[in-house]
Structure 1
Amino acid sequence: MKRTADPDNGPLTDSDLKRMKRTPRAKIIRRALKLSQEEFAARYQISIGTLRDWEQNRSEPDKAAQAYLKVIARKPEMVRKALKAN
């Protein structure tokens, strides 16, 4: 076993990693934008049920939705303005 600088804070084991819950990307983006689920869903025209399913790991965004989330993460105001223009 490799020693670490902090003996009380060793590396994570495989069982540690299995117990940990990943935060879905949609939730990370939404929180970074400081929006509620309802605000995020309305602003970016995503069904609130779909957003909740993504955030609670009941389903995962398909490839198109993943790309959309990536664009929202990088250019949230541009996406908001583009959707508002319709």
Structure 2
Amino acid sequence: MKTVKISIDPENPASLPEGRVDFNRLDATTERDIATQQHIDETNAMLDAAKFARRVRTRLGLSQAEFSQRIDVSLETIRNWEQGKRCPTGAAKALLKILDKAPEAALAALE
């Protein structure tokens, strides 16, 4: 795939590449449309995080209770992650990434 760099001037619509912006659709977009799309995006992100947390745990072959003990996180938190009620953040998110990429080393370090 070829990468093409372009320069645009937001004050000059003529500098925008052809076919990239539908100004009629953009002008017709309401604040409510934007809020609705943000909600949809956030919901999808939560579901993606839930699938990721569940996939990491199942790849390790652990039950939710075993997984919560191994990574020292409450069982309720694991359930909330996997049900999409909460999203792992910060250190928990980093730990899940490490468990996904190098499970043996991560579990050994946690013992």
TM-score, length-normalised on structure 1?
0.65
**What's the offset of the Cα at 1:63?**
2.8
Q: Which residue of 2 aligns with 1:29?
A: 56
Question: Could you say which residue in structure 1 is the equivalent of 2:108?
Answer: 81
d(CA) in 1 for partners of 2:73, 2:104: 16
1:40 is the counterpart of 2:67: yes
Shift of 1:44: 1.6
Which structure has the bigger radius of gyration? 2
Matched ranges for 1:1-86 at <5 A: 22=47, 24=50, 25-84=52-111
> Is there any run of 5+ residues in structure 1 with no aligned partner, and where?
1-17
Query: How far 1:45 sits from its partner (Å)?
Result: 1.4
Q: Secondary structure at the match of 2:61?
A: coil
Q: Moved runs in structure 1, 4+ residues, more than 2 A?
A: none
| One-letter amino acid of the structure 2 residue matched with residue 83 of structure 1 | L
RMSD of aligned alpha carbons: 2.0
| 8 Å Cα contact 1:44-1:79 kept in structure 2 | no
Structure 2 length normalisation: TM-score?
0.52
Aligned residues: 66
CA distance, structure 2, for counterparts of residue 81 and residue 65 of structure 1: 17
